[in-house]
Amino acid sequence: MTLTTTPRIHASLLILGASVFLLSAYNANFWRTFVSATGGLGLSHLPLHLGSFVLLVLLFNACLNLINFRFVVKPLLVLLFMATSATYYFMNEYGTAIDKSMIQNVLETDVHEAFELLNWKLLLTITLLGIVPSMLVWRTQILFCAGKRGLILQGANIGGSLLVAALLLLLFFKSLAPALREHRELRFLLAPTNYIQAINGYLKQQRARALVVAPLGMDATRHASAGANSQRSVTLIVVGETARAANFSLNGYARVTNPQLAQQPDLLNFTDVQSCGTATAVSVPCVFSALGREHYADDKARAQQGLLDVLAHAGFGVLWRDNNSGCKGACDRVEYEDLSQADPGNTWCVDDECYDERLLDGLPELISKARKDLVIVLHQKGSHGPAYWKRAPAAFQRFGPVCRTNQLESCSRESIVAAYDNSILYTDHFLNQAIELLKAAGEKERVSTAMLYFSDHGESLGEHNMYLHGAPYVISPVEQRAVPFMLWLSEDFRSRYHIDQRCLAARTGQSFSHDNVFHTVLGMHRIGTAVYNPGLDIVGPCTHEA
Ligand SMILES: [Zn+2]
């Protein structure tokens, strides 16, 4: 007589076990890279490595509990094991990280090519890491807590996991944040989230291809008095990177980080301005869209023209110069110059990067040649971290001692802040150079000039043990949201567009945000269109009729 017993397990234990299994069995590549990115194996790094393992187990546990229901959890776990085992094989065999172009390759491979990839090693991997665990799960009887009590337990399980994960994240933040930022490949190595994200990205890309960009502000025209003057106008919009308001001496910071701008008599420094997001990829497209923070979404912004299009409709020449990672869709239909690639022949480039002053190269000639009113966007590298010390030339390494590594945990907070402050000191110089360039062009070419500067988001520098940026907006610390914002208008510009400087100076202490940029740029150039909202125009109330 044979006695077969069906193995039984409680649903929550099954999910915890599956989380541990996913992270241990399929992620050799990920852990190898992670360990070397965080300083290698060693007793001193053991808490960090163990803590990170537990952190990921808890996150997986929270996610998988969302599908932990009778009739759902078994087939989904089987699917997960099968797909992850195949992914594991390809990652190990070909050393590939999984991203959306990889998914595109897979999905666009024909049947013949697919058969060529089949071999015994693949079958063995799928059997051991896919079929075996799947059979085990399939044969097991899963015990669920019934009804309301079951749901409450599951909710508590998810909430508890996320809470402990958040605590672990805070505890190891100083080590984890730079490692994840410097080793972006890690997210393409972690299975199964890598291929799930990649499939999602691929689908998004397919949808974006079909996208028709809706026109905006086709009715844009310039006010008669603005167009009548024969003098052209040139406006620089400087988009800063990772500059936080708190570290500008113009905003009361104790270190003198703005020695040059403090000497510009007509510069208006706005002291209370909030960013749209806490990361470049959100703030940059948001600030150039007409959506405003509350209504902003990545796909909405891409489906609609933005500020630069409206300026073009109004007859302006528009150029985007970039020393960062691109304009994230904000400049899609205007002229674009990528100045971020190192050029050994260029004075501003050292090793593999270029200082922001490169953005000013050739601008006087460009201004002189233009026949239209111009708006030129300069996208800085600014204070991009964690390698702050790389952002400023030797002449601006004034504060110290300076942290000279990406591994922030090996630096004191003071040395991290000192490196950051030097990058602000260099931005001070860069902005001052831009204003001086405009002044010179104003005299030589008889053009009316203006500059608007704001940063895309701020930065955490150790407050609440947080570093860098990118925290979810609703819970983000103010350091990541409070950005510098400055406006400089030449006398010619003010008289051409009838702007009252004193009135503007009286507004510099009021609360503004990135939402004001779109309408302020339209307002300061006296561009009329139905999409213009005078309520959000900072300059508007300070203009008067000729
Ligand atoms: Zn940024």
pLDDT tens readout for residues 442-501: 999 889 999 999 999 999 999 988 888 888 898 899 999 999 999 999 999 999 899 999
- Domain match, 240 and 170 both: no
Residue 337 domain-assigned (yes or no): yes
Give the model's pLDDT for residue 92: 77
Residues 377 and 479 in one domain: yes
Distance 422 CA to ligand 1 centre (A): 17
Centre of ligand 1 to C-alpha 78, Å, is 40
Residue 228 domain flag: no
How far is 307 from 520, CA to CA, in rounded Å?
10
Examine residue 324 and state whether it is found in any structural domain, yes or no: yes
Q: Ligand 1 mean position to 456 CA, how many Å?
A: 5
Token pair 């708190």 is at which residue?
246
Please count the helices (runs of H) and the strands (runs of E) in the chain. 21, 17
Residue 216 lies in a domain: no
116 CA → ligand 1 middle, Å: 44
Cβ atoms of 237 and 374 within 8 Å: the answer is no
State mean pLDDT over 346-351.
Answer: 90
Provide the H-helix boundaries in 257-399: 280-287, 298-302, 307-313, 363-369
Q: 279 C-alpha to center of ligand 1: Å?
A: 5
Q: Over 60: is that where the pLDDT of 150 sits?
A: yes
Domain boundary among 160, 194, 209: 209
Ligand 1: centre distance to CA 384 (Å): 7
Q: What mean pLDDT comes out for the span 332-342?
A: 94
CA–centroid distance, residue 492 to ligand 1 (Å): 33
Kindly give the interhelix angle for 73-94 and 28-37, rounded to the nearest 10 degrees: 60
Q: How far is the CA of 325 from the centre of ligand 1 (A)?
A: 9
Task: Tell me: do 189 and 239 sit in the same domain.
Answer: no
Same domain flag for 135 and 241: no
- Number of independent structural domains in the chain: 2
Token pair 């600030």 in the structure block, residue: 287
- Alpha-carbon gap, residue 172 to 153, rounded angstroms: 28
Q: Are 416 and 423 in contact (CB under 8 A)?
A: no
Can you give the CATH number for the domain in which 420 is found?
3.40.720.10
Domain boundary among 192, 209, 226: 209
Whether 233 and 495 have beta carbons less than 8 Å apart is answered as: no
pLDDT confidence band for 95 (50 / 70 / 90): low
Q: How many residues does the chain have?
A: 546
- 273-287, 354-368, 375-389, 404-418, range with the lowest pLDDT: 404-418
pLDDT in tens, 19-46: 999 999 999 989 999 999 998 899 999 9
78 and 140 inside one domain: yes
Would you call 450 helix, strand, or coil by DSSP? strand
Same domain, residue pair 46 and 157: yes
Q: Determine, yes or no, domain membership for 220.
A: no
Query: Where is average pLDDT lowest: 144-153, 176-185, 199-208, 361-370?
Result: 199-208
Q: Same structural domain for residues 181 and 253? A: no
| 477 CA distance to ligand 1 middle (Å) | 15
Q: How far is CA 111 from CA 83, 114, 490, in A?
A: 18, 5, 66
Host domain of residue 174? 8-209
Range list of β-strands (E), 333-388: 335-338, 349-350, 353-354, 374-379
CA 167 to ligand 1 center in whole angstroms: 26
- Do 317 and 457 share a domain, yes or no? yes
How many CB atoms sit inside 10 A of residue 348's CB?
18
Single-letter code of the amino acid located at 273: V
Distance between CA atoms of 286 and 281, rounded to whole angstroms? 9
* Cα 99 to middle of ligand 1, angstroms: 22
Confidence of residue 546 (pLDDT cuts 50, 70, 90): low
| For range 147-168, the mean pLDDT | 94
> Strand pairing partners for 527?
222
| Distance of alpha carbon 486 from alpha carbon 267, whole angstroms | 7
